[in-house]
Structure 1
């Protein structure tokens, strides 16, 4: 059996946890640069505020609702996520963090009452973290994910699909577009075939599924029949790469300012690589203008650099990214965003060196690890390389940012 767990209204829940007066109110969290709505309280959903709504388009509506607005507080959300994941790890021999607010747990063949076991997990996570979660249980990862969504629709804390009848009763009316793995492209194809529910999809012949949806669709089809095709991994998925990007709070035309942002992204990518004990063989650096502003000339340059040896050193990544940025930058454009993507991810212990080279990254790695230790103790970004600059005039707009309740000594709540 597998469990799928996610935090209910994650970003809003994290804000409400440290400000209980928000309960029952319309609360929204905005994306980078306070651009659009990316999280909503149940009250905001009921009021018609939609995911992805541009802030300027719903500004008046939010004012009428006396809504509380927050900028994305990623440090807070990431820390609360880590607390939940550490808590969940006590109930499984293998945990896979799927996103900041989602995780899969391998439950194997527990010799216990699943209903009671799941209720205990939900209760303990709330007790230990203050976060409300929903849990879906099923014989495959796809059914566990489906059970979680069904539980939310039924306004339940959890749903266990441990019999064929329970599975059928849940999927017979479950919309196909809400099934994990059915994206827009597959949904359009299935609509043409008059497939409307998960049960409709399950009744398709496997060879027909493979014809229209390739092997991924076939695996999903098998999983909905209770035949596991996906496995929980206890390591990060290295196939997707690691990326860090961010829009500027205003247009940038000077190379120096853009270099500082690129250096910050390079440092972020390097940290993520070291955290998952990986190294990168390839780096992509890109720039973006604002495609929605037709008054400005558009420019979307990028460059991909293959490094001689796999790296995860902050200094090495920054040096390569700055060089790449200088190669693609052109004056005269109003740039709105830059980003760094690391691909060709391999385990740190599997680096292939050249017989004819004396390359040694031990000093760079030792320096990066020392920076990590200092920043872990005194706060992220307290010690950084000079290329990141000192005053970040280009940083993203965050007019509604809440406090760093769990990661900054100055913001820790004090009781009397």
Structure 2
């Protein structure tokens, strides 16, 4: 059996946790630079606010409904996510963090246990120790567990357990095919042509026909909906295809120095993520973007992929490469709005192949990066950074509605009087 857990309206729930007065009110959380809606309370959904709605387009609607608006508070959300995952780990021998607000748990063969009580215990335990409302779906496969989770949400239930074929049939009967995990736009179009509207319709297709039209991935999904496991829970580091850090500027950038500072920050962020999952990168992709929605400006979308001489995860090595790359693709005369760094070719840290003819100070750079991590963990992220990443950050994103970092900054911790 597998369990799929996710936080209900994650970012909104994190904000409400530290301000209970927000319960029952219209609440939205905005993306980088307060651009568009990326999280909504149920009350916001009820007044017609949709995901990815531009803030300026729904501003009047939010104002008329006395809405509370927040900028994305990533330190808070990441910390609450870590607390959730640590709590979930108590209920499984294998946990796969799928995103910041969801995870899969391997429950194994626990037929002797009352699954309903066990699932309810997970839900109540998380609420008791983190304060976060979650939904849990339990089933014989990961696809069915995800489906059970969505079905529970639609029925406004804290959890759903599909322990046998009878319960599975009852849920898949009217479950929309477009809401099935793994059915993207391309698969949806193909299935629509075949007259498939529900998960039940999809299950009734012959396996050979599914493989013919949807390749092996579609076939695996088909098997999973029949309760035959084809996906396995993996360590996050094993399944990672790339790590990226990017951000839009708060205003157009026309000076290389400001973009270099931003790219240095992104390279350091990517390096930290690599170290956290004990892996290294063989390639870096660095890119620049103008505003494609502003047709009055000339457009320019340069990018470059650089091979790292030796797989690395140190701030010094990746920042040096990223800065050199941004200088190579920079073109004056454009109004740049976004830049980013993406690491690919990710391998475990213990599998790096070195060159005996090249003097590479790997251990020294590792020690420096680990020392920086230690100091930043103790005194706060960003306390110690490379000189290339300015402390001023005039290009930093706009966050006019930012809440406090209640759990990661001593100066912003809640004080009880």
Moved more, 230-239 or 78-87: 230-239
Secondary structure of 2:105's aligned partner: strand
Q: CA RMSD in A?
A: 0.8
* CA deviation profile, 1:119-143 (whole Å, cap 9, x unmatched): 1111111000000000000000000
Question: Taking structure 2 as the reference length, what is the TM-score of the superposition?
Answer: 0.99
**Distance in structure 1 (CA, Å) of the matches to 2:238 and 2:174:** 32
In the alignment, is the contact (CA less than 8 A) between 1:4 and 1:145 conserved in 2? Answer: yes
Provide the rounded CA distance (Å) in 1 between the counterparts of 2:360 and 2:396.
Answer: 36
Retained in 2: the 8 A contact 1:239–1:344?
no
Q: Deviations over 1:133-167 (max 9, x none)?
A: 00000000000000000000010000000100000
Note the alpha carbon deviations across 1:73-120, whole angstroms, 9 max, x for none: 000000000000000000000000000000000000123100000111
Q: Which runs of 5+ in 1 are unaligned?
A: none
2:225 maps to what in 1? 224
Alpha-carbon distance between aligned partners in 2 of 1:262 and 1:350, rounded to the nearest angstrom: 27
- State the partner residue of 1:236: 237
Give the deviation of 1:185 after TM superposition. Answer: 1.0
Matches for 1:173-252 after TM superposition, within 5 Å: 173-252=174-253
CA–CA separation in structure 2 for the residues paired with 1:238 and 1:330 = 36
Does the 8 Å CA contact 2:237/2:279 hold for their aligned counterparts? no
Query: Equivalent residues in 2 for 1:147-162 (5 A)?
Result: 147-162=148-163
**Whole-angstrom distance in 2 between the partners of 1:314 and 1:345:** 16
Structure 1: how far apart are the matches of 2:231 and 2:212? 20
For residues 206 and 313 of structure 2, the distance between their equivalents in structure 1, rounded to whole angstroms, comes to 46
- Is contact 1:223-1:229 (8 Å) kept? yes
Superposed displacement of residue 238, structure 1: 4.4
DSSP 3-state at the match of 2:300: coil
CA deviation map 1:349-399 (0-9, x unaligned): 000112333323000000000000000011100110010112111000100
State the match for 1:327 in structure 2.
Answer: 328
Moved beyond 6 Å, runs of 4+? none
Residue of structure 1 in register with 2:407 after alignment: 406
Number of corresponding residues? 416
3-state SS in 2 of match to 1:195? coil
- Deviation digits for residues 146-199 of structure 1 (CA, Å, limit 9, x no counterpart): 000000001000000010000000001000000000011111111111100001
> For residues 373 and 297 of structure 1, what CA distance do their matches in structure 2 show?
44
Q: Secondary structure at the match of 1:386?
A: coil
User: Is the 8 Å Cα contact of residues 238 and 346 (structure 1) preserved in structure 2?
Assistant: no
Provide closer, same or farther for how the CA distance between residues 170 and 238 of structure 1 changes in structure 2, counting only shifts above 3 A. Answer: closer
Pairing 1:12-411 to 2, within 5 Å after superposition? 12-110=12-110, 111-411=112-412
Q: Any idea what the Cα deviations from partners look like across 1:267-290, whole Å, max 9, x if unmatched?
A: 000000000000000000000000
Q: 1:274, 1:166 → 2: CA distance? A: 43
1:205 Cα deviation after fit: 1.1
Helix, strand or coil at the partner of 2:388? helix
What is the rounded CA distance, in whole Å, between the counterparts of 2:255 and 2:209 in structure 1? 55
1:237: how far off?
4.0
Greater shift after overlay, 286-295 or 356-365? 356-365
- SS of 2:93's partner is coil
Q: Deviations over 1:294-321 (max 9, x none)?
A: 0000000000000121000001000000
Give the 3-state SS of the residue equivalent to 2:250 in structure 1: strand
Q: After superposition, what is the alpha-carbon deviation per residue over 1:231-261, rounded to whole angstroms, capped at 9, x for unaligned?
A: 0013424442100000000000000000000
Mean CA deviation greater in 348-357 or 186-195: 348-357
Matched position secondary structure for 2:237: coil
Matched position secondary structure for 1:25: coil
Distance in 2 (alpha carbons) for counterparts of 1:307 and 1:393: 30
